[in-house]
Amino acid sequence: MSKVTFIGAGSTVFAKNVLGDIMATPALQGFELALFDIDLQRLNDSASMLQNLKKSSGSTCTVTTYTDRKEALRGAKYVVNAIQVGGYDPCTITDFEIPKKYGLRQTIADTVGIGGIFRNLRTIPVMLDFAADIREVCPNALFLNYTNPMAVLTNVMNTYGGVNTIGLCHSVQQCIPGLFDHLGIDKTGVQAKIAGINHMAWLLEVTRDGEDLYPEIKRRAAEKQLEPHYDMVRYEMMLKFGYYITESSEHNAEYHPYFIKRNYPELIERFQIPLDEYPRRCVEQIKGWEQMRGDLVNNQDLTHERSHEYASYILEAMETDVPFKIGGNVMNTGLITNLPKEACVEVPCLVDRSGVTPTFVGDLPPQCAALNRTNINTQLLTIEAAMTRKKEHIYHAAMLDPHTAAELSMDDIVSMCDDLIAAHGDWLPKYQ
Separation between Cα atoms, residue 198 and residue 12, nearest integer Å:
24
Give the per-residue pLDDT at 295: 87
Q: Assess contact for 73 and 135: CB atoms under 8 A.
A: no
Q: Is 424 a catalytic residue?
A: no
**pLDDT band per the 50, 70, 90 thresholds, residue 290:** confident
Half-sphere exposure of 10 (CA within 13 A, CB side): 16
Separation between Cα atoms, residue 221 and residue 204, nearest integer Å:
17
**pLDDT band per the 50, 70, 90 thresholds, residue 421:** very high
C-alpha closest to that of 87 among 302, 372, 289 = 289
What pLDDT digit, counting tens, does each position of 142-195 carry? 999 999 999 999 999 999 999 999 999 999 999 999 999 999 999 999 999 999
Q: Assess contact for 199 and 340: CB atoms under 8 A.
A: no
What pLDDT digit, counting tens, does each position of 229-253 carry? 999 999 999 999 999 999 999 999 9
pTM of the model: 0.98
Residue 381's H or E segment, with its range, is helix 366-388
Q: Assess contact for 404 and 413: CB atoms under 8 A.
A: yes
Q: Assess contact for 251 and 197: CB atoms under 8 A.
A: no
Separation between Cα atoms, residue 103 and residue 105, nearest integer Å:
6
Q: Assess contact for 225 and 211: CB atoms under 8 A.
A: no
Region at 141 (left for phi over 0; alpha for psi -120 to 50; beta for the rest):
beta
- Per DSSP bridges, beta strands 355-358 and 344-352 are antiparallel
The DSSP letter of residue 227 is S
* Apex 111 CA angle, 108 and 116, nearest 5: 85
Separation between Cα atoms, residue 190 and residue 266, nearest integer Å:
37
Half-sphere exposure of 94 (CA within 13 A, CB side): 23
Give the per-residue pLDDT at 1: 76
What pLDDT digit, counting tens, does each position of 349-375 carry? 999 999 999 999 999 999 999 999 999
Dihedrals φ, ψ of 265, to 5°?
Answer: -60, -20
Give the per-residue pLDDT at 391: 98
Let me know how long the chain is.
432
In order of 92, 123, 264, 279, the CA distances from 86 in angstroms are: 7, 9, 33, 13
CATH topology of domain 3-93+104-167: Rossmann fold (3.40.50)
Q: Is the pLDDT of residue 25 over 80?
A: yes
Terminus-to-terminus CA distance in the chain, angstroms? 47
Separation between Cα atoms, residue 284 and residue 267, nearest integer Å:
26
Is residue 222 classed as helix, strand or coil in its secondary structure?
helix
| Domain residue ranges of the chain, discontinuous segments joined by + | 3-93+104-167
Give the per-residue pLDDT at 267: 98
The one catalytic residue in 170, 229, 256, 308 is 170
Residue type, 46: S
Q: Assess contact for 419 and 98: CB atoms under 8 A.
A: yes
In order of 33, 66, 121, 287, 309, the CA distances from 9 in angstroms are: 10, 10, 22, 20, 16
Mean pLDDT of the chain: 97
Q: Assess contact for 245 and 393: CB atoms under 8 A.
A: no
Q: Is the pLDDT of residue 268 over 90?
A: yes
Give the per-residue pLDDT at 291: 84
Q: Assess contact for 4 and 80: CB atoms under 8 A.
A: yes
